[in-house]
Amino acid sequence: MATGVKPRVKVPKTASAGEAVTIKTLISHKMESGQRKDDDGNIIPRSIINRFTADFNGQNVIDVTLEPAISTNPFFEFEAIVAETGTFTFTWYDDDGSVYEETKEIEVS
């Protein structure tokens, strides 16, 4: 079970229709690769975020598969074109079955 997991996202509050907005996301997570050993030589079990998705008004914007080589606290920055006012939903899937979700509203004028 991963501890200290906290998702963060940054989405502009307003945009004009059709504008490509920059979205930044970060989730604090150990991203234990499963390749390391502890002091006694036992393998530390893998515990990573394995999938990240962003949806806008129910439509998928980005869907990422994460692999063990990705570093601690994975950060994603991407652009999305927004046509109307709506809600971004960000979802992170943990190896341990946890799902972390965060939503942000954006107003389009």
Partner 1 sequence: MRTKTSMRLGVGLAAASVFAMAACADPDDDQLVVNEEIEMITEAAAPDHMERVRTIYSGWRFRSDETQAVQMDDFDNPAMIWVDAAAEVWETADGTEGNSCASCHESVDSMEGVRAVYPKWNEAAGEVRTLEMQVNDCRENQMGAEPWKYDGGDMTNMVALISSVSRGLPVNVAIDGPAQSTWEQGKDLYYTRFGQLELSCANCHEDSYGLHIRSDHLSQGQINGFPTYRLKNTKLNSVHSRFKGCIRDTRAHTFAPGSPEFVALELYVASRGNGLSVEGPSVRN
- Comparing CB distances to partner 1, the nearer of 6 and 36 is 6
As measured in angstroms, the least distance from the Cβ of 55 to partner 1 is 21
As measured in angstroms, the least distance from the Cβ of 26 to partner 1 is 7
- Comparing CB distances to partner 1, the nearer of 28 and 91 is 28
Strand partners, 13: none
**Distances in Å between the alpha carbon of 39 and those of 29, 36, 42, 43, 52?**
22, 10, 7, 10, 32
- Rounded CA-CA distance 5/11 in Å is 20
- Rounded CA-CA distance 42/23 in Å is 39
The residues that touch partner 1, with contacts defined as CB under 8 A, are 4, 6, 8, 10, 24, 26, 28, 73
As measured in angstroms, the least distance from the Cβ of 12 to partner 1 is 12
- Comparing CB distances to partner 1, the nearer of 25 and 89 is 25
